[in-house]
Structure 1
Amino acid sequence: MSTTNSSSTWSREENKQFEKALAKYDKDTVDRWHNVAKLVGGKSVEEVKRHFDILMEDLRRIDSDQV
C-alpha cells in the first residue's frame, strides 16, 4: 500500500494471518470481516475489507494481463 499510516501498513505476518483468516472464514461466514479482523489483530473491520478489495483488484488486473 502506498499510505504511510501505520494502521494501514501491513506486515508480512499480518498478511500471513489475513490469508489464513480468508481460508478459515469464507464468503458465507456470518460476521466474516469481524472474524478476519480479530484473527489478524490490530486491524479494523474496515481495514481488512479494504485490504481484501485491493487484493481482488490486483487479481483482476493480473487475470486481464494488465500487470
Structure 2
Amino acid sequence: LYMLEDRLTEHLNAVDDEAQERMDILMRQMMRRQGITGEMKARDQMEWVRAVNGIRNMAEEIVLNELIYR
C-alpha cells in the first residue's frame, strides 16, 4: 500500500509540475499576443486584471483538456 501511495504521489506531483509549466508558457504567450504589458497595468489596472483573469481562465481550460481530461 505504501509503495502504491508513493507512486501515486510521485505521479500526481509530476502532473502538477507539467500543468504549472504549461500554464506559465500559455499565459506568457497569450499576454504577448494580446498586448497585455506592464505599461497597460500602470495605465489601467482594472482592465489589466480583467484581461489577465480571462487569459488565466482560457489557459486553465487548455491545460485541463491537454493534461487532465486526456
Please, what TM-score do these two structures have when normalized by structure 2?
Answer: 0.38
Greater fraction helix: 2
Higher relative contact order (CA closer than 8 Å, sequence separation 6+)? 2
Larger CA Rg, structure 1 vs 2 = 2
